[in-house]
Amino acid sequence: MDTRAVIKASSFLILTIISIPTNLLVCCAFLHSYLIEGKLLTADIILCHLAFANLMVAFTRSIPQTIAALGYVHFFDDVGCKVSLFCFRAFRGLSISLTCLLCVYQAVAISPATSLLAPLKTRIPQFLMYIIVFLYLLYYFSNVTSPLYAVSSFINNTIPPYTLNLEYCFVSHREYFTYILIGFGVMSRDLVFILLMIIMSGYILILLYQHGQKVKNIRSSDHSQKGDRAETKASRAVVTLVILYVVFFGVDNIIWMYTMTVSRVALLISDIRDFFSTLYTSVCPIVVITTNPKVQRKLKLVKMKKEAQPTESSTHTM
């Protein structure tokens, strides 16, 4: 293996090792809460779907990239390449839109009663499942044509121009116009959600600043302080997720725009872009685990049960 392959394999292996267990943990924590309590908060439902989308991105991109870097490049046929590409693009898009939905909901949740967003406080929870189903359908149908260009190999191993080389699969466009059109179409669609995230995050930061100024001048009861701290912590976590996504999205698309200017993209450039396009799947669940009280409670319960097991077994042997 050359140096590039070693670095690539190590990088994507680390992403896979972090992403899959942490996203599974987030999903299981919320599903367990639902089974025990019979309901989930609006933000928790969004986070559960977000963790699932991130998990599928890891399965359809991080794992194949790791395997390819280890030298096993012919594990997909044409159908496998098409399915893998379709799932990756659909779930990556869902990850963007669900992060945006989470940001919008958090902005609505902490907005004052006099705000223009106030009516959405009851509307979003009421129509949440319809919104999520719409986002799933949006990205499923908008990515139907993408797999048409995916193949597992070429005759005589000759890679034509305007081809995205994943090593284990290829996304080949017959002409430059199609290459440009699809690229800017995908970027423009995702950019709408990114811009909305930035606007809502800015609004959240303004509200947090105003709240901080009020706290300095007005003494609240202990109960209200706890509620304020919980909302503030949740809002900061959402803003953190948005900032991270905007940074990763920015790097990803700067590289994407560069690839539009060349007919053949170097493998190293393609690897860097793929790394940043999947990095969020590992960072997002870590932020959720460290900031979400419900997930932290589940972790504490699991830890307490594990600590209690040796005590119980030693009692039985006496």
Q: Is the pLDDT of residue 317 over 80?
A: no
Q: What is the pLDDT of residue 220?
A: 47
List C-alpha distances in Å: 200 to 107, 142, 262.
6, 25, 36
Tens digits of residue pLDDT in 19-38: 999 999 999 999 988 888 88
List C-alpha distances in Å: 219 to 105, 116, 215, 227, 233.
27, 27, 7, 14, 19
* Cα 244 to Cα 250: distance, rounded to the nearest angstrom: 10
Point out the least confidently predicted range of 96-100, 217-221, 280-284: 217-221
* Cα 304 to Cα 195: distance, rounded to the nearest angstrom: 43
Q: Is the pLDDT of residue 14 over 60?
A: yes
Q: What is the pLDDT of residue 254?
A: 87
Tens digits of residue pLDDT in 204-243: 999 888 877 776 666 544 444 555 567 778 888 899 999 9
Point out the least confidently predicted range of 123-127, 151-155, 259-263, 312-316: 312-316
| 20, 55 contact by CB (below 8 A) | yes
* DSSP calls for 16-80: HHHHHHHHHHHHHHHHHHHHHHS---HHHHHHHHHHHHHHHHIIIIIHHHHHHHTT---S--HHH
Q: Could you tell me which residue, 126 or 147, shows the higher pLDDT?
A: 126
Q: Is the pLDDT of residue 318 over 60?
A: no
Average pLDDT estimate for 125-136: 95
